[in-house]
Amino acid sequence: MNIQNKTILVTGAGSGIGKELVLALLEKGAIVAAADIHNIALAELKQQIGEESKDISIHVVDISDKTAIEDMAKSVITEHGHIDGVINCAGIIQPFIKINDLGYDAINKVMNINFFGTLYMAKTFLPYLLKRPEAHIVNISSMGGFLPVPGQGIYGASKAAVKLMTEALYAELIDTNVRVSVVFPGATQTNITKNSGVKVPKMPAGNTKNQNIKMTSASDAAKTIIIGIEKNKFQIFIGSDSKFMNLLYKISPKFATGFIAKQMKSLLPK
């Protein structure tokens, strides 16, 4: 899809990959509807954009609230007249603990935001997208959506649900004007842990394996996603770790699972 002059909605727009997507889209000549649950972050984003702020609208919304999303959709259409693309970037992670120790409140929160929020967004905006000459839906899954990560089992389950739902949506819309992409970020430099209210476990002294993990910047991640949109890619992998683990998991799921389990062992409580 040609991004210039297109109206694109981005969730999770107040920080991380979402924020970088907004900036990159504006630079390419798009009009952006920026959505986030954090109104201060959105206000700071608009202030940062400055002169280009005429090309952006701000929408404070909790994506786990279906009614709030439906109200936002009406607001976006009222302000912009139409919508050409939706990038579902908002999401949270879970505390770094095993499934057996994770409370149901935390489980429900992760599923409601990551999966149901993405589903609500897709279903709410799809009727508008189908009216456009060309349109695009992008859903952010995760490397954890195709590879089990101990200590992030429910987060991974939510992102696996996003993966399969998005791929089914791609198949259902294959003969329409709406293209669909699913994104699998690996280790990326964002503040998702802070926004999720989760503390990162301290690594044991002398453990250098996880300290040396190469992380992709949020800016580079956003650029990769936009290239994927422009090329109408079905799957978009972000970071060498995501690409490598995707290949390894296809070759030997058991070996790949064991490999990740060893990497995460030192971060999990006994």
* Closest alpha carbon to 71 in 88, 85, 59, 58: 59
268 backbone φψ class: left, alpha, beta (φ>0; ψ -120 to 50): beta
- Please, what's the largest Cα pairwise distance for the chain? 57
Type of residue numbered 80: H
E strands, the chain, where? 7-11, 31-36, 56-60, 85-88, 135-140, 178-185, 188-189, 216-217, 235-238
Could you tell me if 93 and 154 are in contact, meaning their C-beta atoms sit under 8 angstroms apart? no
Q: Collect all residues with Cβ–Cβ distance below 8 Å to 269 and sequence separation of at least 6.
A: 97, 98, 101
Report the candidate in 215, 210, 261 with the shortest Cα–Cα distance to residue 242. Answer: 215
Report whether 116 contacts 64 (CB < 8 A).
Answer: yes
> How many alpha carbons lie under 13 Å from residue 247 in its C-beta half-sphere?
6
Q: Give catalytic residue positions.
A: 155
